[in-house]
Structure 1
Amino acid sequence: MQVIRDGVALDYDVTGPDDGAPVVFANALGTTRAIWDQVIAGLPAGLRIIRYDMRGHGASDAPDGPYSMGQLVSDAEAVCDAAGARDAMFVGLSVGGMVAQGLAVKRPDLIRALVLSNTAAKIGNPKLWQDRIDIVHAKGLAALSDAVLQRWFARGFYGTPAMQPWQAMLESTPVAGYIGTCAAIAGTDFYTPTAGLRIPTLGIAGIDDGSTPPDLVRETLDLIPGSQFVLMRRVGHLACVEDPATYAAHLADFMKATGHV
């Protein structure tokens, strides 16, 4: 399915019963909604699962950038509205977690609970992101992929055959989408708005995450009173890929604790 926002087609899918508790998943930079495949298989039955590809990624359009975080948040809003999601649990990883924070502030009617996975209120700094943009402009994503993959995955997963599909996914990301999203991250600082949130929130961090280390994730969760935090071992930035069963178990526990299932 697709929804068009400001001329950009956003591709999404919905599975599960119409009256099921909605759960929305937002992907990371350089990935598609396929990162959630194995996690979804481990979740309780009866949920209404909504997944979409962020603009510039997967089956969604990849317009020329730069993108803004406001655009990415409005894209998520459009997907939720098109899918009829209300009182959803929103699960966002990396930039998807930034989108989750922004959407929870903008449209509290859409989100009743947050899962902020391997993310933060602010990630990196403008120079870091501009340097990355310059490399991709000059040499393409393949020149950057090994350094990214080392931050994404723990040593036990990095370099194995199981990593190859995720490397291919990263390297097939449209250049316009990748650098456009880098620009959105570079311009985002959600410390103040996130500190105003008062909804159930779970933070998930990977002990070997080289992109958003556990202390950075915890710092963001500490902004939200009553939030929970779990640290996954032997995984990096894409915790949902390296250990989907444990990741799904954390989501299921949080759903039960918040009455979402």
Structure 2
Amino acid sequence: MPYAAVNDTQLFYRVDGAENTNAPWLVLSNSLGSDVSMWTPQLVEFSKHFRVLRYDTRGHGHSAAPKGPYTIEQLTGDVIGLLDHLGIARAHFCGVSMGGLTGVGLGARFASRIDRLVLCNTAAKIGSPQVWEPRAAKARNEGMLALADAVLPRWFTAEFMERNPLVIAQARDVFVHTDKDGYAANCDALNAADLRGEAASIQAPTLVISGTHDLAATPAQGRELAESVQGGRYVELNASHISNVELTDEFNKVVLNFLLESK
């Protein structure tokens, strides 16, 4: 399996698409409690146009889970380190939830490395200490299984969960096997990160996607984020928090239309 030694951390990554072409790069960043597999619904369509780079955020999937707490500086630095490792000068970036917040940081702090940004089901400030501190403590003390029944229903609408038991089983399997300390350390990063003062400095063309039924990163927060970025655009999908899985076709169409349009 491919790994990159980045910031004293082993990051797992995958590359799909035309690796030996001059197609532009697209980086995909996972949500809290998931891994590279959350992007499976996008791979066929996205890899027709891009060299697609997925990675497991530190503390997730096959990546290492170094001792926390983590910071947004580490999460953004990991992406830049991975780009450097692979010799990628510039890339598009698309992230969901925690991955979207990482994208805000990248756009604000590493403008020379980012072409276009897609920030999904996210905000410049996600949640509060009242959310993150007890969740991190529960993960550390009781394990991921103790959180699954509360978290998964916030990812998808009830109707989607009822119609797609296999998708939910797969998401749950990834969630419960996420390193509990790595998960908690990422909760710490989200708790401390407030990029509301930095979003206005993003120069890359930016699309914000929200889910109508998302309680974790609400449409109001998505609109606020889009409005804070000069020229930012906003699209709302009839989904909950993991919109790329719940409304795959619509998500793929919206993202590709944005990434492929002429500048």
Normalised-by-shorter TM-score class: over 0.9
Partner of 1:232: 237
Partner of 2:200: 195
Name which of 68, 75, 78 aligns with 1:75.
Answer: 78
Matching of residues 154-165 of structure 1 within 5 Å: 154-159=157-162, 160-161=164-165, 162-165=167-170
- 1:208 partnered with 2:213: yes
**Unaligned segments of structure 1, at least 5 residues:** none
Q: What value does the CA root-mean-square deviation take over the aligned residues?
A: 1.4
Deviation at 1:88, TM superposition (A): 1.4
Instruction: State TM-score, norm by structure 1.
Output: 0.94
Provide the C-alpha distance between the structure 2 equivalents of 1:209 and 1:50, rounded to a whole number of angstroms. Answer: 26
SS at match of 1:250: helix
Kindly tell me the number of residue pairs found equivalent between the two proteins. Answer: 258
Q: Describe the superposition over 1:2-30 as per-residue Cα deviations: whole angstroms up to 9, x where unpaired.
A: 21123210111222234111111110100
Give the AA of the match of 2:83: C
Instruction: State TM-score, norm by structure 2.
Output: 0.94
Partner of 1:130: 133
Give the AA of the match of 2:174: M
- 1:248 partnered with 2:247: no
**Unaligned segments of structure 2, at least 5 residues:** none
Deviation at 1:158, TM superposition (A): 2.4
Q: Describe the superposition over 1:163-196 as per-residue Cα deviations: whole angstroms up to 9, x where unpaired.
A: 1110111111001110010000000000111111
Deviation at 1:127, TM superposition (A): 2.7
- 1:89 partnered with 2:97: no
Deviation at 1:246, TM superposition (A): 1.3
Partner of 1:7: 8
Give the AA of the match of 1:98: L
Structure ranking higher in helix proportion:
2
SS at match of 1:4: strand
- 1:65 partnered with 2:73: no
Partner of 1:169: 174
Provide the C-alpha distance between the structure 2 equivalents of 1:68 and 1:44, rounded to a whole number of angstroms. Answer: 31
Provide the C-alpha distance between the structure 2 equivalents of 1:192 and 1:25, rounded to a whole number of angstroms. Answer: 24
